[in-house]
Each structure stands twice: as structure tokens, then as C-alpha cells.
Structure 1
């Protein structure tokens, strides 16, 4: 029997690649978008859903259950980026990103868990980020949202395991997607003490995304997780140095690791 998968943020980038790949593997795929009408020729069905609006979350999940009778896999992929010196980034913009990346992901999990508990099975895959394993300069708030979701996943997976539900994290590195276009960018202010270093780091971030890996790698990794009966707590998908940076953080003294990051970001 084909598995039913719901992918938040399925209109582009990693979400779209995952949906297309799972479709090829025989899954029944539903994606979500705030404005599905903007993607009329999408390869799989898109449902309206805004992760910051609980009513739209429930409507989308109810629609999938009404159509298919179940939801086997949730890929919690919807998210947004934010850049800027923390001192100069509006606090409300920080809250907005937490609402999407952290609380939004939690709300979707809360909405799908009753159905999975009734089924006595289900898999939730939270898409986080390798950036969530460390505080990155000018991306500290983004790192914080993804790191927070990693920790919450560790907790909730223990809470629901007795119901036959598995929850895991997948942390991607830099992938060639359109995430940069959807970020909130704190402006580079002319009189800012961060003007030079922030602009250099913005250029570096955009270059990393432009030269990032093929999102198909994430699609293959997520498919592989759906095929295992005992998913791990954490998965990392990225190039060697991105994954190795997490290992280095574990084994190096904090100040030495900080120096490595500062050298990398030319600070």
C-alpha cells in the first residue's frame, strides 16, 4: 500500500525535490504552500497551509485524511531565513522567524499526532539545519530556531514512541535553493559599525547557497529514512566539511572553535 506523505513548504526548494522523488517511489504526495494557486502545474498536489495559522494547518490535515484516510509521513520542511547583526535586527522579525521555523513546526506536529496515534504508526521528519548546531555570525537567530527544533524533537520523540510514532531530525547544509530570496535581511546600514563585515558575510552566504549541493541529496536521504523501522535521532546531509564542523565543535575547546569560525567568516 502506497504511503501518504505531507510535506510543508512543498512548492519549491528542498520540499519540492523531496515530493518529486517520493512520487517517483510510489508515495501519495501532498505538499503545502501559502499560495498554491501560484503553482498551477506543480508535479504533486499542493494544499493551502500557513504554519503560523493553526486553522489552515488543521484544514490541510483534515483534507488529506478525508482523501486518503491516513497520513503516514509528515515532512516538516516549511521555514524561512533571517540575517543581520543581532543588535540591528528588529526583535519582531526575530519573533516572526521563530513563529515559522519553531512554533510553526510544533503546531503541524500537534495537529497530525492524533491521526498517527489512531493509526498506531507514523513518521515525522523535522527539517532543521547544520547551522542549528552552532551560533553563526549574522545568522544567530536562524541558528537558534533550528537548534531549538532539534532539542524539541529529542524530547517529543520519547513522548510519542509508545504510540508507534517515530520522530527524527534531518539537518541539511547548504543546498542550491531559493531560500535566500525568502530571507529577512536586516539592511546594511551606511553608518553601521557592522557595515563591512556584515556585507562580506552576506556575499559569502549567498555564494554558499548558489554553489550548494543538489536538493536531490536531501530527497534521497529522506526517502531512506522512510524505509527504516528505527530512525535515528539526528541525521546530517551536506558536504564533508559541513558535517565535520559539528564533530569539531564536540572535540575542540570552545575558544579554538570560535577562532576557526571567525577566520572562516573573516571576522
Structure 2
């Protein structure tokens, strides 16, 4: 029997690549989007789901269970970028980012757990970010929301072990997707004390995404994890130096690591 997979944010970027890869491997895949009508040519089914609206989460999960009778794998991929000087990002945008990147995934997890517990089996992969391992300048809110999801996964894993439900984090680096177009960018204000460093950092971030890895690298990594009997707590996927930056943070003195980051961003 083909395993049934739910991928939030499965209409583009990393989610789409994972969905197409798993479909080719014989899995029954359901992706989600706030506007599924725009993706009628998708290789797999796209359901209506907005991670900020609990009722749409419940409806999508129940539709899958009604059609398939089971739900084996959840890939929490839906997310949103946000950039800007923390001082200048409106509170509403900070809260909206956490609604998408933190509270949204938690609510999707809550929606699938009763079925997975009933099956006495399930796998949940939370797509986080290498940025979630460090506070990056002008990406501090994004780092915080993804880092929070990394930590809550650690706790969730231990709570779910007795039900034979497994959970892991998969942290990508920069991939060549359309994420930059969907980010919230705090405006570059002419009278802002951050105008030049923020503008330069924004250009550097966009260059990193444009030069990023092929998102099918993430699809291959997810497939490999799904075929692992005991997934690790954390996985990192991306360019060597991006993954190595996490190792450096662990072993270097805080101030030296901070200096390296500031040199990288030319601050």
C-alpha cells in the first residue's frame, strides 16, 4: 500500500519539488495552497489550506483521511520569509511570521496526531532553516521563528515516542526557489539609520537565493529520511559552508562567531 503524504505549501519551491519526487516514487501525495485553483496542472493533488486558519487545516486533513483512510507522513513545509531591522518591522508582521512559521506547523501537527495515534504509526518532518541555528542580521525574526520550531520539535519527539510517531527537523540552506519574492521586506526608509547596511544585506541575501542549490536536493534528503527506521533529531541540507557554519557556532567563542558573521555581511 502506498504511503499517504501531506505536504503543506506544496504548490511551489521546495514543497513542489518534494511532492513531485515522492509522486514519482509511488507515494500518494497531497500538497496544499491557499489558492489551489492556480495549480490545476500539478502532478499531485493540491488541497486548500492556510496554516494561519485552523478550520482549513482540519478540513484538509479530514478530506485526506476520508479519501485514503490513513495519513502516514506530514511534511510541514509552508513558511514565510521576513527581513528588516527588528526595530523597524511592524509588530503585526512579526506576529504574522510566527503564525506561519511556528504556530501554523504546530496546528497542522495537532490535526494529524489523532489519526497517526490511531494507526500507531506516523512520521512528521518539520522544514526549518539553517538560519534557525543563529541570529542573522536583518533576518532576526525569521531566524527566531525557525529556531523556535527546531526546539519545539525536540520536545514533541519525546512526547510522541510512546505512540510510535516519529518527528524530525530538516533545515535547508539557500535553495534556488521563489522564496525571496514572497518575503515580507521592511521598506528601505530614506531616513533610517539602517538604510545602507540593510540595503546591502538585502542584496546579498537575494544573491544567495539566486545562487542556491537545486531544491531536488531537499526532495532526495526527505525521501532518504522517510526510508530511515529511526530518524535523527536534526538534519541539515545545503552547501557545505552553510552547514559548517552551525559547527563553527558550536565550537567558537560567541564574539568570534559574531565577528565572522558581521564580516560575511560586511557590517
Q: Deviations over 1:119-157 (max 9, x none)?
A: 000000000000000000000000000000000000001
1:64-103 to 2 correspondences below 5 Å: 64-103=64-103
Q: CA deviation at 1:43?
A: 1.1
1:36-47 to 2 correspondences below 5 Å: 36-47=36-47
Task: Confirm whether residue 33 of structure 1 aligns to residue 57 of structure 2.
Answer: no
What is the root-mean-square deviation in Å for CA atoms of aligned residues? 0.4
TM-score w.r.t. the length of structure 2 is 1.00
Instruction: State how far apart, in whole Å, the 2-side matches of 1:72 and 1:200 are.
Output: 44
User: How many pairs were matched up?
Assistant: 267
1:145-156 to 2 correspondences below 5 Å: 145-156=145-156
Task: Confirm whether residue 200 of structure 1 aligns to residue 200 of structure 2.
Answer: yes
Moved over 4 A (4+): none
Instruction: State how far apart, in whole Å, the 2-side matches of 1:207 and 1:258 are.
Output: 22
Instruction: State how far apart, in whole Å, the 2-side matches of 1:83 and 1:228 are.
Output: 35
TM-score w.r.t. the length of structure 1 is 1.00
Q: Deviations over 1:26-66 (max 9, x none)?
A: 10000000000011111110000000001000000000000
Instruction: State how far apart, in whole Å, the 1-side matches of 2:52 and 2:89 are.
Output: 21
Q: Which residue of structure 2 aligns with residue 109 of structure 1? A: 109
**Where in structure 1 are there 5+ consecutive unaligned residues?**
none
Q: CA deviation at 1:250?
A: 0.3
Instruction: State how far apart, in whole Å, the 2-side matches of 1:42 and 1:120 are.
Output: 31
Q: Which residue of structure 2 aligns with residue 261 of structure 1? A: 261
Instruction: State how far apart, in whole Å, the 2-side matches of 1:68 and 1:82 are.
Output: 36
Q: CA deviation at 1:91?
A: 1.0
Q: Which residue of structure 2 aligns with residue 3 of structure 1? A: 3
**Where in structure 2 are there 5+ consecutive unaligned residues?**
none
Q: Which residue of structure 1 aligns with residue 133 of structure 2? A: 133
1:141-180 to 2 correspondences below 5 Å: 141-180=141-180
Instruction: State how far apart, in whole Å, the 2-side matches of 1:249 and 1:202 are.
Output: 23
